[in-house]
Amino acid sequence: MTSLSVKTVPSKSKFDFGEFFRRYGTAVIFLLLVVCATMLSSSFLSERNIMNVLRQVSGTGIMAVGMLLVILTRGIDLSVGSIAALGSVLSAVIVAQYSTGASIAMVILAGAACGMISGVLVAYVRLQPFVMTLAMMAIARGMALIISNGQPIMMGERGDTITDFGTSFVYGVPMPVLLMLGVFIVAALVLNFTKFGRLIKAIGSNEEAVRLSGIPVARYVLAVYAISGALAAVAGIISTSRSGVGSATVGVGSELDVIAAVVIGGASLMGGRGSVFNTLLGVLVFGVIGNIMNLINVPGYHQQVFMGVIIVVAMLLQKGTGWLKR
Amino acid sequence: MSQSLIELRGITKSFGGIHALNGAQLQAHAGEVHALLGENGAGKSTLMRVLGGELQPDQGQLIIGGEVLSLKGPGDAMSRGITIIHQEMALAADLTVAENIFLYDLPRFISWRKLRARAREILDRLGFSIDPSALVSDLSVAHQQVVEIAKALSRQARVIVFDEPTAVLSTQDADRLLEIIDGLRKRGVAVIYISHRLDEVFKIADRMTVMKDGQWVATVTPADTCVSEVIRLMVGRPVDTLFCDRNARQHGSEVLRVENLNASRKVRNVSFSVKAGEVLGLGGLVGSGRTEVARLIFGADRCESGSVFLKGRKLKLRSPQDAVAAGIGLVPEDRKGQGVILDMPIRANVTMANFSSVLNLFGFIQSDRERGVVEKLAGQMRLKSSSIDAPVSSLSGGNQQKVVLAKWFHLGGDVIILDEPTRGVDVGAKREIYELIEGLAANGLAVIVISSEHHELFGLCDRVLVMSEGQICGELQPDHYSEENLLSMAMTHRPALSHVEIRT
């Protein structure tokens, strides 16, 4: 049976710590954090707190899936936070005139369109992904500010269905969390068992070899940016659904959180390497750290420093133990 | 005989329980060209990494100038005058030639005029007119190699190791390199020379050390041995004929026809055709446009004018996708950069060009079917790997090439173009690749082989087109196969023999 992890390495008879951490580093960090959190705060393991953490990371998680796909192709998408803001604003504006279903579809399409613009310029015109999505980050945020005129937009009664989604539970699990898990499951299936998934990993590993195998590489690259944009818009809708307000200041700086989560999940910015399951763990690690520090009242500024340290530790663990010997 | 300048004695090195080196030894005198021979995986490169300070041996001694030393790292080795010119070149592609040559001792403030003048001097000494202010990425592979050598010379090296230097060079450049090496020998440098081209080795080497399975086998001189004897030492068994009998081939009707292909100045009015079951060779010097022609036919580059017909039907080749759909495969010359995806399993590499055969209705990969297909192909190709799930990077060069071939076997098209199919591949795997090419021809494919090793073209091909400066300047039939004929066509645009057919 194929495991969820992307890289399967032939097992050796001897236990290899470096290899172990490369593959399960994120899981180890996650478990350690959970153990620490349980010891530090009695309320951490309560159902309410767990669901709270999950709900907080649902937007980041959904964006992380899109980011993982982009990073696998050796790209980067800095525009996700801004597209989420555009999605948040648009959903509040559009739902005032159209039905809920049509509004959601339009918002997701708008996000996908932003992603496609980046995708076309990256895949066909060969602009560098960093620069292109940096531009899209400014453009999408600017659009969100223009449309909202810089003001929060209340959804009103017409947005009740959306607000219901953000605030309701199924068997005690918030809907956005279920949606996030659904996105992760679909992504895991796609990445591990479909042509699309295999090819985007292959493109990140050696684009030229894939092209010379007769694969239309640009089409796949375009697709991952479009997916990333669409998922960012979904994250924007979730934000609106939780607060009932469309805001152009949603997701400021969140592209960095998303990239950090994907990287903590072991994906390589050089492309070709990363797994959906570990990305989910990376997102959870991020959520749990923030949660513990809130529970034990660590001031916000200190939290940032600690966050940064955790990213470095995670990277070192995944690098294996080899660097210790040098 | 003079005292050894360097001596490696009883070197043992293992990686995770596998002995890469097991009591290997080598000595070289000042002013000697010492060839190091062996199949890929025999431990030559590992031994040289020990000499270069990149690896610490588990056991054994390194003696330099009569002194037992342990090298602390590559920098230490360099400061003791040991330079290794690797197979994969270590040049900064975006810097200029001059900067690369002096990369290790760039002055704090660079005077461009002086730097260029110094670079110019070294390059002139080597006899190459390379512009010191050109970017390395703009140079041909052969010229990049020259820059590597210039870099070593700039550091006053006493021992220079060449790891397969001529694998990427045309015969003309390779000859020039041999002259350079001869010059180094006269200046008292100890040259250690790793190469798979035995004819070259016999020309240049004073002594030869043969390795097999990480062990020393023999040290001999060219005078008291012969090529087949050395091959026997390397392989451990006698090698009969490397090539299959081309007379057994059955030629069918024309499959591929190329008419007046043009692309900037690199390819000019190239026309030819290939029949089913025929193996056509493209010979000539490196840079004569052979690779460019291959890439045009495969749609990897755009042509300015000209047309390609497959079985009489005109093809629209805008991208490799069109070529693959039409049933044309390309085994590119840069195996690691363009042929295989090193990090991915063998399985994924093989099915890359023909996914539809392993997908189900919903676009999911059918693991069982894929496994079956790939295992069958791996068996056919005698692929040596731990499993088809192993990453391609774990394979030797020859086996990596088999993975690329398996990809096109799996596509099962009508035309396959092989660009330097056995570059950097050891003798045993070469023979197997030749057999696979034979198998492709026997299956009725039209095969085009590009090679800088002339005996390979002559051994494999039914006829050889010779290219020069982007044009086809002649065609050799088997009766006229000889290095002189090929070179005289390539270099004078005129055949050495009056009755050889000329195409213009």
Total number of residues shown for chain A: 326
pLDDT at B492: 64
Q: Are B118 and B149 in contact (CB under 8 A)?
A: no
Give the model confidence (pLDDT) of A104-130 as tens digits. 999 999 999 999 999 999 999 999 999
Which residues on B lie below 8 Å from A206 (Cβ)?
A: 337-338, 340-343
Out of B110-114, B192-196, B244-248, pick the least confident: B244-248
Q: What does the CA dihedral B109, B114, B119, B125 come to, rounded to 10 degrees?
A: -150
What pLDDT, on the 0 to 100 scale, is given for residue B238? 53
Rounded distance between C-alpha atoms, residue B70 and residue B9, angstroms:
12
Q: Which residues of A touch B387 (CB under 8 A)?
A: 10
Closest approach of B71 to chain A, Cα-based (Å): 15
Q: Which of the residues A11, A14, A210, A213 would you substitute to probe the B interface, choosing the one with the greatest number of B C-beta atoms within 10 Å?
A: A213
pLDDT at A102: 94
Write out pLDDT tens, residues B432-476.
Answer: 899 999 999 999 999 999 998 778 888 899 999 999 888 898 899
Instruction: Say yes or no to pLDDT of A321 above 60.
Output: no
Cα separation, A239 vs A58, in Å, equals: 9
User: Mean pLDDT, chain B, as a whole number?
Assistant: 85
Q: Which of A9, A14, A205 sits opposite B344 (nearest CB)?
A: A205
**CB-CB: which of B337, B348, B386 is closest to A202?**
B348
For residues A30 and A283, the answer to whether their CB atoms sit within 8 Å is no
B302, B344, B366, B389, best to mutate vs chain A, most A CBs in 10 Å: B344
Which one of A189, A208, A214 has the shortest CB-CB distance to B324? A214
Give B55-104 pLDDT, tens digit per residue: 889 989 899 888 888 888 888 888 888 988 876 667 888 889 998 888 87
d(C-alpha B33, C-alpha B203), whole Å: 11
Interface contact B341-A215, CB threshold 8 A: no
**Tokens 């490397």 — which residue?**
B242
Taking contacts as CB-CB distances below 8 angstroms, the residues of chain B near A210 are 341, 352
Closest CA to A9 of B214, B328, B393, B141: B393
Sequence-distant (≥ 6) Cβ neighbours of residue A244 within 8 angstroms? A154, A155, A159, A163, A166
Is the per-residue pLDDT at A9 higher than 50? no
From the list B124, B180, B177, B142, the residue with the least C-alpha distance to B285 is B142
Q: Give the residue from A212, A219, A325 with the most B CB atoms within 10 Å of its CB, the best one to mutate.
A: A212
d(CA B381, CA B435): 9
Quick check: A196 contacting B, CB < 8 Å? yes
Rounded to a whole number of angstroms, the CA Rg of chain A reads 20
Q: Is the pLDDT of residue B427 over 90?
A: no
Supply B99's token pair. Answer: 């900067």
Burial class (CB in 10 A: 0-12, 13-18, 19+), B134: middle
Residues 353-372 of B with CB under 8 A from A: 353, 355, 359, 363-365, 367
Q: What is the pLDDT of residue A185?
A: 97
- Count interface pairs A-B at CB distance under 8 A: 85
Whose structure tokens read 């399960």?
A: A24
Query: How far, in Å, CA of B268 to CA of B304, rounded?
Result: 10
Query: How far does the CA of residue A203 sit from the closest CA of chain B (Å)?
Result: 9
Residue B292 in this model has a pLDDT that exceeds 70: yes
The three-state secondary structure class of B39 is: coil
Mean of pLDDT values over B156-166: 84
Q: CA–CA distance from B55 to each of B20, B212, B397 (Å)?
A: 12, 19, 21
At B332-353, the pLDDT tens digits run 988 988 999 999 999 999 999 9
Q: Which residue has the tokens 């090296």?
A: B157
Q: Which two tokens stand for residue B241?
A: 């004929």
Measured between CA atoms, the residue of chain A closest to residue B294 is A212
CB A198 within 8 A of CB B348: yes
pLDDT band (50, 70, 90) for residue A5: very low
Q: Which residues contact A226 (CB under 8 A, 6 or more apart)?
A: A112, A115, A116, A119
Q: Across the interface, which of B325, B332, B348 has its CB nearest the CB of A198? A: B348
Confidence of residue B151 (pLDDT cuts 50, 70, 90): confident
Residue among A262, A257, A290 at smallest CA distance from A275: A262
Rounded to whole angstroms, the Cα distance separating B395 from B378 reads 13
Taking the Cβ of residue B341 and every Cβ of chain A, the question of whether any pair is shorter than 8 Å is answered with yes
| pLDDT at site B2 | 52
Confidence of residue B17 (pLDDT cuts 50, 70, 90): low
Residue A2, pLDDT > 50, answer no
pLDDT computed for residue B102 by the predictor: 87
> In this structure, what token pair is assigned to residue A162?
């959306």
Q: Please give the model's pTM, rounded to 2 decimal places.
A: 0.77
